[in-house]
Chain A
Amino acid sequence: MTVPKGHVTPAVEIKNVVKRFGAITAVDNMNLAIKEGEIFSLLGPSGCGKTTLLRMVAGFENIDNGEILIKGKVVNHIPPYKRECNLVFQQMALFPHITVFENIAFGLRERRRPQSEIKKKVTEMLEVVNLPGIENRFPHQLSGGQKQRVALARSIVLDPKVLLLDEPLAALDRKLRKEMQGELRRVQQKVGITFLYVTHDQKVALSLSDRIGIMYEGRLNQIGTPTEIYETPRTSFVASFMGSCNIFPGKAFSLNDNHIEVRDEHGLRIRAQKCKDMKVEDVHGISIHPEMIEIIPEGHNLPSENSSTNTISGQISDVFYQGDFTELKVLIKSTGQSVTVHLNRRSDNPVSIVKDQNVSIHWNSCHSNLLVG
């Protein structure tokens, strides 16, 4: 086999993979390459096919079409017990009738490793997940976080080519989830195993991953770093899924060398900066994050109007206090659209915000995000 210079075999490769359940296409011709040693998150709403894809990689679902490769080797017809990947289950699935030690040793015993090696490796693993000294307990004697660590140790001890994680934090409460996130990252950096992480939780994906793939209706919408995915979503689905609820579909026109203007169906005009790798005619709309919008109460000086700013007048129709920020709904009177604005508690935004107040919303065109789909 000839490998081009500088080419590194991906840990996992998904090639044109299709999976149908009856009339429903769960995974629709997907392509994806996961790099060695990264934490890759498949993020999407429930029913988008992410778990199905994970189960296909693990070997629990047949593949209708396409190929899945682990470290360059096609695994389509390899049964789960022979695949060099391990799955951490959402409900952990620790074996209830055996001790923590035996749970972690399970895979090693299947591989008929000598007792001395098993003992050494299991003890080592318990150190890695910060749980020394609990080997003789049974799963029902563990807390949620401890179960999670044991489940992780049970898979990692086998040194898989890739570790598959199926929403392993979903069952934990918020505080513990945050703690375990850090723990997962720490363990991953220590052992250096590639993680393929499936979740519907944007926050977990953003803070944990090296790269994120957004999945919707069996297809990948966008792949990128957490920053790219959050700040420059390319489709209206990704934009809304990542919390940017202000989406204005429309046609784009060039204003000058650096700026374009998008006119949406209601006649609203929004300015944005040109993007060098995107043709004007490919732009199908604009999204703007609620936290990037400034509120200017009536009577205050408006910033000067030019091609790099957006200033639209409206009226506050709703105020939702959230603690660390306040969510406002601003009604644009001329078009009847509603814009969501987040005011940070510590920001220098105007002191009094009340319902029915007339305001202007303002943002710089560099914060307008271009959508292509």
Chain B
Amino acid sequence: MSPRIWFLRIVSILAYIFLWAPVIVIIVFSFSANKFGIRWEGFTLQWYYELLDNQTVWDACIRSLVIALVTVVVSTALGTLTAYGLYKLKFRGKQLLRTSILLPIVMPEVVTASALLVFFIKVTPLTLGYPTIIIAHIVFSTPLAVFVILGRMQRIDWAWEEAAMDLGATRIRAFRRVIGPVLLPGIAGAAALIFPWSFDDFVITYFVAGIGNTTLPIYIFSQLRHGSSPVVNVIGTLFVLFTSVSLLLFMLAEKKSRTTMGT
């Protein structure tokens, strides 16, 4: 093998180590007996048991899950409708709207966060809490759903919709029986992206959460402020495991749909 290939190999390996090292460290330290979780002092499952007993963590976790689930359902539904409108309808300023859908994605999170905070406090009668967190999450997740689903819409054969209508289905029936199912991998993809985004979100949630609505990322942050705890490593490990499995499942589903749809 030529030296050039060796060089490329080494660089790639280093790049992967760079990417994976922090994750590996967290996984390793989640099993370490050291009570700050920062050094290897022998194997233990103690922190895992402690996590099981920690009611605050569970509350935070469930809160985050509920928020993420509601966000996923509402933003994929809204995203699908918006994408359909942006793709199918003809109107002035469509291109502008379509491009501006990316704005919330590229805008710095703190800007969105402070804007939302001001909006909630000054314009709406809402008190900060569950509803504001969920609304905020929907605001930053829906553009992502629109973006992903629009991508899928560009790759499907719209003669399917006309064929369905020709065979007697109204536009809505055609969506339910053909376009919806055909878009499903895109919708699932959007959901798979939005779920961890919402579940992980710290900045925006921190701004609009108000008092007492600790989500998991906020809990972890507060734990770290009072000194590192090995329980945080355990949560991190579980996160990595959970995300990897869902990514894998998503890839399998996508692969299967590619063979049947021929796209």
Instruction: Please list the residues of chain A having a beta carbon within 8 angstroms of any beta carbon in chain B.
Output: 58-60, 79-82, 86-87, 89-91, 93-97, 106-107, 110-111, 138, 140, 154-155, 158
Contacts and interface: CB of A to CB of B under 8 A. Distances in A.
B181 interface: yes
B110 interface: no
B159 A106 contact: no
Nearest to B170: A81
B157 A81 contact: no
Contact of B262 (A111, A140, A158): A140
Given A89-B159, A96-B182, A58 B166 contact: yes
Which of B159, B163, B170, B178 has most A Cβ within 10 Å? Answer: B163
A95 B166 contact: no
Contact of A91 (B157, B178, B181): B157
A154 B259 contact: no
B169 A97 contact: no
Given A91-B159, A93-B157, A86 B167 contact: yes
B177 interface: yes
A290 B155 CA distance: 46
Contact of B160 (A58, A81, A87, A95): A95
Contacts of A58: 166
Interface in B157-194: 157, 159-160, 162-170, 173, 177-178, 181-182
B2 interface: no
30 contacts: A60-B165, A79-B165, A80-B162, A80-B165, A81-B168, A81-B169, A82-B168, A86-B167, A87-B162, A87-B166, A89-B162, A91-B159, A93-B157, A93-B159, A93-B162, A94-B163, A95-B182, A96-B160, A97-B181, A106-B169, A106-B177, A107-B167, A110-B167, A110-B168, A110-B169, A111-B168, A140-B259, A140-B261, A154-B167, A158-B168
Nearest to B259: A140
A87 B165 CA distance: 10
Contacts of A86: 166-167
A106 to B, nearest CB: 5
Contacts of A60: 162, 165-166
B32 to A, nearest CB: 49
Given A81-B165, A81-B173, 19 more contacts: A60-B165, A80-B162, A81-B166, A81-B168, A81-B170, A86-B167, A89-B163, A91-B159, A93-B157, A95-B163, A95-B182, A96-B182, A97-B178, A97-B182, A97-B261, A106-B169, A111-B168, A140-B260, A155-B167
A79 B166 CA distance: 9
Contacts of B260: 96-97, 138, 140
Contacts of A81: 165-170, 173
A58 B164 CA distance: 12
Contacts of B259: 140
Q: Which label, helix, strand, loop or mixed, suits the secondary structure of the B interface?
A: helix
Interface residues of B, number: 21
Contact of B164 (A79, A82, A106, A138): A106
B188 to A, nearest CB: 13
Contacts of B157: 91, 93
A87 B160 CA distance: 12
A333 to B, nearest CB: 54
Contacts of B173: 81, 110
Contacts of A82: 168
B160 A106 contact: no
Interface in B224-263: 259-262
A96 B259 CA distance: 10
A246 B178 CA distance: 51
B162 A106 contact: no
A159 to B, nearest CB: 12
A345 B170 CA distance: 57
Contacts of B164: 95, 106
